[in-house]
Amino acid sequence: MSLAAWDPKYATGNLAIDGQHKKLFQMVNELHDSLLAGAGREKMGPTLKGLATYTVEHFRTEEGFMTQKGYPGYPEHKRKHEELLVQVTQLITDFDAGKLTLPLTLARFLADWIRHHIDEEDQKLAKWIKSN
């Protein structure tokens, strides 16, 4: 069952970034499906860490693209990336310490963040690139 579905409205026009966004949607859905299936900690830990690692890679790609193109919104966009990484790092730390059991609200949080971030922040970048 998909929690976060890719929609063509999320397309930025950059094939690499769009491909990574699609992969992030897929990974959030895999996390959600694992939660629904009652997967244990042994499955959830690597799934969550894999999602976090891929998110870092994606942010590097996106930020490299923004700096290469001289995007004026880069500092604010990067700040939003950093905020998410702090939150996800804390969630992983809490999970590893047994303080967090990864409720479905985590998957929903990630899905909502991805949709909101792509729909708003990444679309600002896409519009700026197209007009410059």
| DSSP characters over 100-113 | ----HHHHHHHHHH
The per-residue pLDDT for 28 is 86
**With contact defined as beta carbons under 8 Å apart, do 5 and 25 qualify?**
yes
Q: Read off the pTM.
A: 0.85
**With contact defined as beta carbons under 8 Å apart, do 68 and 14 qualify?**
no
The per-residue pLDDT for 105 is 67
* C-alpha distances in Å from residue 60, one per residue of 1, 20, 23, 77: 29, 11, 15, 12
How many Å separate Cα 51 from the centre of its chain?
A: 8
pLDDT exceeds 80 at position 104: no
State mean pLDDT over 16-20. Answer: 94
The per-residue pLDDT for 15 is 92
As a CATH number, domain 20-131 is 1.20.120.50
The per-residue pLDDT for 20 is 95
DSSP SS3 for 81: helix
The per-residue pLDDT for 126 is 87
Residue 99 gets which letter from DSSP?
S
Return the closest-CA partner of residue 9 out of 129, 115, 130, 131: 115
Please report, for the chain, the start and end positions of each structural domain, with discontinuous segments joined by +: 20-131
Token pair for residue 98?
A: 């047994």
State mean pLDDT over 9-34. Answer: 90
The tens digit of pLDDT for each residue in 35-94 reads 788 777 777 788 888 888 999 999 999 999 999 999 999 999 999 999 989 988 888 888
